[in-house]
Amino acid sequence: MSTSTYTPAYALPNFTQSLPADPDLYHLMNGGSKYPTLQYRDKATGEIYTVPNLPCNQQRSVQIEVLEWYAAQHDERARQALILGPRGIAAAEDENELAKTARAAVEVLRKELLLIQSR
C-alpha cells in the first residue's frame, strides 16, 4: 500500500489559472513540457505563481519550439504524401500550407519576443 498523497494542481500554493501579465516578463522557476504546472517568479516583487501548463502560460521560446516541431512534422507528412504520386498531391499541398502557417506564427512570436526583450 502506497502512503504518498496526490495534491491536485488547483490545491497547490499560489495556484492561479494564468499569470497577471505576459509569461516572458517572469522568471520560469520549474516546469516544462512534461509537467502539468509551471512555476514562475515575478522578477520585481519575488511573488511566486503556479499556473497550468497551457500555451497561454508558456513563454514564447517554448511556443516557438513547439511550432517549429509542428512545421517539421507537416513537411514530413507532405513528403510522405508525394510518395503516393498523383493521389497524394492534394494532401501534400494541405500539409505544406499547415507548415507555412506554423512558420508564419513562429515569425510573429520571434518579433514579439524581441520586442519584449528590448524593453
Residue 43 confidence (pLDDT) above 70: yes
Burial class (CB in 10 A: 0-12, 13-18, 19+), 49: buried
- Give 2's pLDDT tier (boundaries 50, 70, 90): low
Q: Are strands 37-42 and 48-52 parallel, antiparallel or unpaired?
A: antiparallel
Looking at the whole model, is its pTM more than 0.85?
no
Paired residues of 50 in beta bridges = 15, 39
User: Residue 1: its pLDDT value, please?
Assistant: 55
Identify which of 17-26, 42-51, 93-102 has the greatest average pLDDT: 93-102
The domain ranges of the chain are 9-57, 60-117
What length is written for the chain?
Answer: 119
Local structure of residue 18 (DSSP, 8 states)? S
Distance CA 54, CA 19 (A): 11
| pLDDT tens string 69-105 | 999 999 999 999 999 999 999 999 999 999 999 999 9
Q: Check if the beta carbon of residue 103 is closer than 8 Å to that of residue 95.
A: no
- Map residue 77 onto helix, strand or coil: helix
Residue 108: which pLDDT band, with cuts at 50, 70 and 90? very high
What does the pLDDT read at residue 25?
85
Task: List the beta bridge partners of residue 34.
Answer: none
Give the pLDDT of residue 34.
72
28-32, 39-43, 71-75, 112-116: least confidently modelled range: 28-32
